[in-house]
Amino acid sequence: MTIWERVEAALTGLGVDMAANQFMTDSPDDLPDEFIVYQMISDPPEQHADDAETLRVYRVEVSYYSRSGFSGMPDIEAAMLAAGFRRAPAREVPYSPETRHYGLAMDFNYLDEE
């Protein structure tokens, strides 16, 4: 299973529109009131043995965007933890006057055994 399939499987149960890397619409007004965008940030090898990679750590960013703020935000962290990810730093994304969305970017790590 790829890292993108793992993230999508973890987040599907939240019932929020989502896309890998970028949520594409014809215009900013067509964006849903809330949505999730996820992407892989890095994937450095963690361990080697017998000249082969045995462990890799994937770092993914899951960004939640909402026009109403974060008070009704789905529990993205719980969904990702249940799928085997570990929480890493989170940060607010600046408000977008163009789309009228607030944003929160959350990083998660996943240890994959090759």
Residues 6+ away with beta carbon under 8 Å from 94: 103
CA–CA distance, 102 with 3 (Å, rounded to integer):
26
Total-model pTM: 0.91
Q: Decide if pLDDT at 49 tops 90.
A: no
CA–CA distance, 89 with 9 (Å, rounded to integer):
21
Task: Tell me the CA distances in angstroms from 72 to 3, 37, 65, 66, one per residue in order.
Answer: 27, 17, 11, 9
Q: Give the start-to-end residue ranges of the domains of the chain.
A: 3-113
CA–CA distance, 33 with 54 (Å, rounded to integer):
42
CATH architecture of 3-113: 2-Layer Sandwich (3.30)
Summarised one tens digit per residue, pLDDT across range 13-26 is 999 999 999 999 98
Neighbours of 48 (CB within 10 A): 11
- pLDDT score of 105: 98
Average pLDDT over the chain reads 94
